[in-house]
Structure 1
């Protein structure tokens, strides 16, 4: 989502939107998750360092607004993206600093990565350097290692079997 500068008006709109959503769904089961914003990009700035400030503000506002509505939202898993949902380590570190400041065990980081479609397409060493320590690299190496250890599986579909028919009830004359 491309966003211009975060103004007081936009911040108020964002807050009001999350107040309405969170209040409406506060009593829903825990399987419902909220994500603060999807793929946030800010325009009119000097770059990532400057953009980290409004991203942090949006995530903190989202957290406080949702938690304040109570009910299931008091401890619901909340999903927060890195800037642009990008898996770059500095952006992940910035989000983890936000998590530490919020001191809430029910937060989930969101990143999008479109270069290594594990396990549907083999991850190659060129797509994830072996020395990389990012969460993404660790996950892809883990998936690659697991794929080597698992036998190939094929999916088969069979038609569901019909339940057996109960015998017909006897008739009064004894014949059917």
Structure 2
């Protein structure tokens, strides 16, 4: 994987949830003492980027959950786990898991779009810097410390003198009477 200005050029793996972390479930599920709402931890397929964490835990994500009827649910990233607060396995099975999966896909897609935009900008900046460095190098190569070399300044001065002399010749050419 190459990098431009510290930005990964190749896209990352999509952010997915793989399984429910069984050990995080309340031990009294399917008993008379079972809670109706609890926290369910699900395992991510990879490490979550900081920008993705911010998006997952944002008010925007809460609004998406509320729009689909899950306004009481909250999401929290803990290392490689997503803690889904105030829910149940039944609620996840019956649609919440799909809403969360789509939310994660949208977050990953936006993150990839931002990353690609950053790569494009970094490449353009690197290209401009390379052109600038090449121009400096080219100019440095034109510098000569040869005492016998005719400089551009001397050449221009000679051309200017010749033009002035030619101008005087035309002024005295006849047919024109300057007054």
Q: Quickly name the TM-score band, shorter chain normalised.
A: under 0.3
The structure showing larger relative contact order (alpha-carbon pairs under 8 Å, at least 6 residues apart) is 2
Question: TM-score by structure 2 length?
Answer: 0.20
Question: TM-score by structure 1 length?
Answer: 0.21
Larger fraction in strand: 2
Larger fraction in helix: 2
**Rg: which structure is higher?**
2
